[in-house]
A and B are shown apart, each in its own frame.
Chain A
Amino acid sequence: MLTTSLKRILIAGAKNFSRSGLVSIATVLIMTVTLAIVGMLIFLSALLSYTLAEVQDKVDVNVYFTTDAVESDIISTKSKLELLPEVALVTYTSREEALAQFRQKHVDDTLTLQALDQLGENPLGASIAVKAKDPSEYAAIVNYLSNGNNVVGGASTIDRINYYQNKSVIERLTNAIGVTERAGLALAIFFALASIIIAFATVRLAIFSSRDEIAVMRLVGASNMYIRGPFIVAGMLAGILAALIVLALFYPVAVYAGTSLSSWFGGFNVLTYYTSHFAYLFLTLMSVGIVLGGFASFVAVRRYLRI
């Protein structure tokens, strides 16, 4: 009995959908727009978090040691730093490596290289670069280093810490990241709400055109669930179709963006994201489409089932 009703509701829903012609097409198109916005928000947030990760990755604090600092002391300081929970990575650059890097950097600048040769000795000190797990933790790390007891060989062996020069930049960056995340979220919610309301109104309009039909079904003695069922099924079908259209439309866009716009997006490859997250995109768009179509129909038919 229950399975027969379910089967009948599914068949009636599919027939309703295919026979409603233009109304169904309009509903699918509006839901396509809604789901496309949802999909773009997914890509946007992926791009945003990728960019943020990239930028965060580039921030570090460099500690420059004096030329007479003992290498083994610096290594010990490095080991101590690595034990801190805030620290993600510490890289040591020895005096010789610093010099090699300097030469590499100024390979075309003969004047500077000549001056360096004239000095006869290596003027560069060793340095360590510290990367924090979170940009807001740099201050704590610098505080830690400013305390002479934590530096093996004493605070006097530290020539300078470039954090103080970078401090304002780092702070601004930390703020910017926070603001971007919050603004992005607010924008996402706003767009999602707007498009959901439009999709909702369209589904309601589609059902409004069937209100006489609903009245007849009621008079013929159909139960409320039996009347509502096919409309909900038709709404879900519109959602499924819209999700499929969006997924299909995104593929060529992803191919184009992945090949031509990758450098513009700071190395973020849209196509790679599309293919590697396909299951996630598919499930998200499908479930948003099904829930949106089904729920909008449910609410809309409810209005015409009074009495």
Chain B
Amino acid sequence: MIYFDKVTKLYRDGTSALEDVTLSIAPKEFVSIVGHSGAGKTTLLKMLLAEEKPTEGTVYFESTDIHALPKSSLHHYRRKIGMVFQDFRLIPNKTAYENIAFAMEAAGRDDDEIASDVPYILNLVDLGTKGGHFPHQLSGGEQQRVAIGRAIVNQPDIIIADEPTGNLDPVNTYEIVEILKKINELGTTVVITTHNKGVVDAMGKRVITMEKGRIVRDDAHGQYIL
């Protein structure tokens, strides 16, 4: 469903973030992308979100060249993707409930759907009683669960998580990984980047290792090897 065709990203000062990356991800896959800081993991995800354009090469989502989409219709494409960040990126002046509802409102869902789906999602990420809390009233793990809830509420085709456990302690990390696994088992493609060896090894799924903007390993049942 996702295909990177010889993608290269050069920045203006001549440094390259990605070099000649060719990669395909099938539906319902769980893919971990690992590598040192600056290896190009985040750039790869930004390409996928159409936040950055490749210098050379093409990125396809299904059969669409996503960088050829006009700006005005980008938001339709982005609704197919659920995004989770290391720093959570919740909207600070909205409650947990409203943060999740916002994604549904933005997608144009009606009030009845929102009223029934948001509580369901809050229960799914184990925050049933904390819907009325603002982000600053929640712990890091709770905030990340709200972010995951927001990412999945519109039933996206793919979940992209950039270092989702980077700011969390081991217990919360474990919970987040379990939730992501559950989402994947329910049929959603999941792509995560991570530094956490434990996360990758526990998963036993496909691992792509990057180094200096290139893919150096791609194992179907990989381990965290650097």
Contact = CB atoms under 8 A, between A and B. Distances in A.
Closest 3 CB pairs of A and B: A222-B106, A221-B79, A221-B78
Contacts of B91: 213, 216-217
Interface in B100-140: 102-103, 105-108, 110-111
Given A226-B106, A307-B71, A220 B51 contact: no
A223 interface: yes
Nearest to B52: A307
- Interface band, chain A: 20 to 34
A4 B113 CA distance: 13
Interface in A213-231: 213, 215-224, 226
Interface of B: 49, 51, 71-72, 74-76, 78-79, 81, 83, 89-94, 102-103, 105-108, 110-111, 150, 154
Given A222-B75, A307-B71, A217 B106 contact: yes
Contacts, number: 57
Given A16-B93, A212-B89, A307-B51, A220 B110 contact: no
If over half of A's interface residues share one DSSP class (helix, strand or loop), that class is named, otherwise mixed; here it is helix
A219 B51 CA distance: 9
A104 to B, nearest CB: 76
A19 B135 CA distance: 13
A220 B106 contact: yes
B66 to A, nearest CB: 13
Nearest to B76: A221
Contacts of A213: 91-93
Contacts of A19: 93
A1 interface: yes
B111 A4 contact: yes
Interface string A219-251: 111111010000000000000000000000000
Interface string A12-23: 000110011000
Interface of A: 1, 4-5, 8, 15-16, 19-20, 212-213, 215-224, 226, 307
Contacts of B102: 217, 220, 222
Given A16-B93, A217-B106, 7 more contacts: A15-B93, A213-B91, A217-B91, A217-B102, A220-B83, A220-B106, A221-B79
A221 B93 contact: no
Contacts of A218: 75, 78
A4 B112 CA distance: 12
B107 A221 contact: yes
A223 B75 contact: yes
A223 B106 contact: yes
Contacts of A221: 75-76, 78-79, 81, 103, 106-107, 154
Given A219-B49, A219-B78, A222-B75, A8 B105 contact: yes
Contact of B103 (A1, A215, A220, A307): A220
Contact of B108 (A5, A20, A212, A307): A5
- Most chain A CB within 10 A, of B72, B89, B106, is at B106
B75 A224 contact: yes
A22 B78 CA distance: 33
Contacts of B110: 4
B48 to A, nearest CB: 12
B150 A220 contact: yes
A223 B107 CA distance: 8
